[in-house]
Amino acid sequence: MGTLCNNHRRYSIIVITILGLLAMVSDDLVAQDVANGQATATVLAALSVTAVKDLVFGNVLQGLPRTVANDAVDAGIFSVWGAGGAGISFYLVLPEYVSLTGDSDRMTISFNATDANIDTTGLSAADPTAFLAANGYANENPHNLSTTNFEAPAATIYIYLGGRVTPTVDQTAGAYTGDILLTVAYDGT
């Protein structure tokens, strides 16, 4: 009889202790709450710039300047592709001269304030001779090009560039080249 009572008492103490522990533990568990929110963003297309065609002056004669118009077949062509509707800005770095390989002689190249056309209509193929003023920005200053927006959805913008070379009367014969650098960036609009 005494053993039975002792067993009951022992079980009771164990049960009470477990309940007490559960009480403490469950208090902590219920007290804290955690929620997971999200941060979301969609990154649109990266800009892509291509020099489609060089500005070509062809054969020039000593002492005779030669001009290529911005709507001539020999005009330089850049294409820019990016996210539709996004605003972009352009910056052209234009050379002051073209030179022979090895820089043994130089020839002046110049760009006036109306030497660029910007076609924003998203044509599938570039054609400077087909450019109309209504197609974008006509006779732009290549030293200070207008900012513009891509057509939506993603589309291509073409820049057509003319220029002028002025050979001296004793210009060394040969093939002259110079780099024209176009930088394009989203402006955040």
Partner 1 sequence: MRYLFCIIIIFGSILVAPANSWAQNITVINNLTLGNMLPGVPKVISKRSAGAAAEFHISGIAGDEMSIDFSLPTYMNSGTSNMQMVFTTTDCAMDSSSSPDQSEPGNDDLNPWHSITYRLGANGLTIWLGGMTIPKINQRPGNYSAVIVLTVTPTGL
- Contacts with partner 1, residue ranges (CB under 8 A): 8, 12, 15-16, 19-20, 22-23, 26-27, 30-47, 83, 86, 185-188
Q: Which is nearer to partner 1, 87 or 178 (CB)?
A: 87
What is the Cα–Cα distance from 173 to 167, expressed in whole angstroms? Answer: 10
Q: Which is nearer to partner 1, 23 or 175 (CB)?
A: 23
Q: Which is nearer to partner 1, 39 or 125 (CB)?
A: 39
We find the least distance from the C-beta atom of residue 4 to partner 1, in angstroms, to be: 11
* Exposure b/e, 48-68, CB count within 10 A at least 16 = b: eeeeebebebeeeeeeeeeeb
We find the least distance from the C-beta atom of residue 9 to partner 1, in angstroms, to be: 8
Which amino acid is located at 79 in the chain? S
We find the least distance from the C-beta atom of residue 29 to partner 1, in angstroms, to be: 8
| CA distance between the termini of the chain | 90
What is the Cα–Cα distance from 158 to 82, expressed in whole angstroms? Answer: 12
We find the least distance from the C-beta atom of residue 41 to partner 1, in angstroms, to be: 4
Q: Which is nearer to partner 1, 78 or 150 (CB)?
A: 150
Sheet holding 76-82: strands in order across?
48-53, 76-82, 155-161, 116-119, 136-140
